[in-house]
Amino acid sequence: MTRRKLPLLLCIATLAAAFAIVGIAQTATQAPAAFATPLNNAGTGAVGNGFTDSTTFVADTVAFSNEEDIPQGIGPIFNARGCVDCHMAPNIGGSSQVTELRVGHLDGAGNFVNPNIPVGNTGTTVPSRSLVNDRAICGQAQETVPGAENVRALRASLSVLGDGFVEAIDSNTLVAIANAQPGQSGGAIAGQFIQVPVAEANGALRGGRFGWKNQQASLLSFSSDAYINEMGITNRFAPTDFTTVCKTTADPEDETGPDGLNDIDRFARFMRATQVPPRDTTLAATSDAVTGNNLFNQIGCAICHTASITTSPAGTVINGGAFTVPAALGSKIIHPYSDFLLHDVGTGDGIVQNGGQATANKLRTAPLWGLRTRARLMHDLGNFTRNESILRHAGEATNVINNYRSLSITQKNQLITFLQSL
Amino acid sequence: MRRTVPSMLRLSLLVAAALSLLAGCNSRAQIEARMEKPISPAPIPTAKSASTPVPKLPPPTRAEVEAAFHRVFGGSLIASTSSRQFFIVGDFNGDESEDLALIARPAPGKLQDINSELSNWIVQDAEKAFIPPPNKAVVKPPLVERPAIENGEEVLAIIHGFGPAGWRNPEARQAYIVKHAAATFEGTAPSISQKAIRAMHLPVETDIIKEVRNNRKGFVFWTGGVYAWHPSEG
Residue B17, pLDDT score: 62
- Contact of B22 with chain A, judged by CB distance below 8 Å, is answered with yes
DSSP state of B137: S
Q: Does A1 reside within a domain?
A: no
- The verdict on a CB contact (< 8 Å) between B16 and A18 is yes
Q: Is A44 exposed, middle or buried (0-12, 13-18, 19+ CB in 10 A)?
A: exposed
Please give the order of strands across the beta sheet that includes A323-324. A323-324, A316-318, B34-35
ipTM reported for the complex, 2 dp: 0.82
Write out chain A residues lying below 8 Å of B198, CB-based: 147, 150
- Contact of B133 with chain A, judged by CB distance below 8 Å, is answered with no
Closest of A352, A111, A356, A348 to residue B50, by C-alpha:
A111
Q: Does A11 reside within a domain?
A: no
Interface of A with B in 59-78 (CB under 8 A): none
Write out chain A residues lying below 8 Å of B15, CB-based: 11, 14-15
Q: Does A8 reside within a domain?
A: no
Write out chain B residues lying below 8 Å of A19, CB-based: 19
C-alpha R_g of chain A: 23
Q: How far apart are CA B118 and CA A419, in angstroms?
A: 14
Phi, psi of A291 (to 5 degrees): -65, -40
- The verdict on a CB contact (< 8 Å) between B202 and A150 is yes
Question: Along the 234 residues of chain B, how does pLDDT read in single tens digits?
Answer: 444 555 666 666 666 565 555 554 455 555 456 999 999 877 655 555 545 566 688 999 999 999 999 999 999 999 998 767 899 999 999 888 999 999 999 999 999 999 999 999 999 999 988 877 766 666 676 767 789 999 999 999 999 999 999 999 999 999 999 999 999 999 999 988 888 877 776 767 899 999 999 899 999 999 888 999 999 865
Residue B4, pLDDT score: 52
Q: How far apart are CA B233 and CA B218, in angstroms?
A: 8
- The verdict on a CB contact (< 8 Å) between B48 and A399 is no
Q: B210-216: long-range contacts (C-beta < 8 A, 24 or more apart)?
A: B210/B185, B210/B186, B211/B181, B211/B183, B211/B184, B211/B185, B211/B186, B212/B183, B212/B184, B212/B186, B213/B180, B213/B181, B213/B182, B213/B183, B213/B184, B214/B183
Q: Does A305 reside within a domain?
A: yes
Q: Does A417 reside within a domain?
A: yes
Closest of B226, B191, B68 to residue A384, by C-alpha:
B226
Residue A21, pLDDT score: 45
Residue B174 in 3-state DSSP?
A: coil
Please give the span between the terminal C-alpha atoms of chain B, in angstroms, as a whole number.
Answer: 111
Per DSSP, what are the bridge partners of residue B231?
A: B218
Q: Annotate chain A with three-state secondary structure.
A: CCCCHHHHHHHHHHHHHHHHHHHHHHCCEECCECCCCCCCCCCCCCCCCCCCCHHHHHHHHHHHHCCCCHHHCCCCEECCCCHHHCCCECCCCCECCCEEEEEEEECCCCCEECCCEEECCCCEEECCCCEECCEECCHHHCECCCCCCCEEEEEECCCCCCHHHHHCCCHHHHHHHHHHHHHHCCCCCCCECCEEEEHHHCCEEEECCECCCCCECCHHHHHHHHHHHHCCCCECCECCCCCCCCCCCCCCCCCCCCCCCCHHHHHHHHHHHCCECCCCHHHHCCHHHHHHHHHHHHCCHHHCCCCCEECCCCCEEEHHHCEECCCCCCCEEECCCCCCCEECCCCCCCCCCCCCHHHCCCEECCCCCCHHHCCCECCCCCECCHHHHHHHCCHHHHHHHHHHHCCCHHHHHHHHHHHHCC
- The verdict on a CB contact (< 8 Å) between A385 and B139 is no
Write out chain A residues lying below 8 Å of B206, CB-based: none
- The verdict on a CB contact (< 8 Å) between A110 and B50 is yes
- The verdict on a CB contact (< 8 Å) between B19 and A100 is no
Q: Does A44 reside within a domain?
A: yes
Low-confidence ranges of chain A (pLDDT < 50): 1, 18-24
- Residues making up chain B, counted from first to last: 234
- The verdict on a CB contact (< 8 Å) between B39 and A172 is yes
Q: How far apart are CA B75 and CA B130, in angstroms?
A: 30
How many CB atoms neighbour CB B20 within 10 A? 14
Residue B132, pLDDT score: 72
Q: How far apart are CA A10 and CA B207, in angstroms?
A: 80
- Contact of A26 with chain B, judged by CB distance below 8 Å, is answered with yes
- Contact of B115 with chain A, judged by CB distance below 8 Å, is answered with no
Q: How far apart are CA A397 and CA B95, in angstroms?
A: 14
Write out chain A residues lying below 8 Å of B143, CB-based: 375-376, 384
Q: Annotate B140-166 with three-state secondary structure.
A: CCCCCCCCCCCCCCCEEEEECCCCCCH
- Residues making up chain A, counted from first to last: 422
Q: Is A297 exposed, middle or buried (0-12, 13-18, 19+ CB in 10 A)?
A: middle
Does the global pTM surpass 0.90? no
Residue A22, pLDDT score: 43
- Contact of B139 with chain A, judged by CB distance below 8 Å, is answered with yes
Q: Give the DSSP H or E segment for B5.
A: helix B5-31
Q: How far apart are CA B186 and CA B164, in angstroms?
A: 25
> How far A173 CA sits from the closest chain B CA (Å)?
10
Helix orientation angle between A5-26 and B5-31, rounded to the nearest 10 degrees: 0
CA angle B93–B111–A380, rounded 5-degree value: 30
Q: Does A5 reside within a domain?
A: no
Residue A158, pLDDT score: 95
Q: Does A17 reside within a domain?
A: no
Residue A35, pLDDT score: 97
Q: Which of A343, A386, A398 to mutate to test the interface with B (most CBs of B within 10 A)?
A: A398
Residue A121, pLDDT score: 92
Asked whether the beta carbons of B54 and B206 are under 8 A apart, the reply is no
- Contact of B53 with chain A, judged by CB distance below 8 Å, is answered with no
Closest of A74, A82, A45, A43 to residue A60, by C-alpha:
A43
What is the domain count for chain A?
1
Domain that holds residue A33: 29-422
Q: How far apart are CA B183 and CA A321, in angstroms?
A: 62
Closest of B132, B175, B138 to residue B157, by C-alpha:
B175
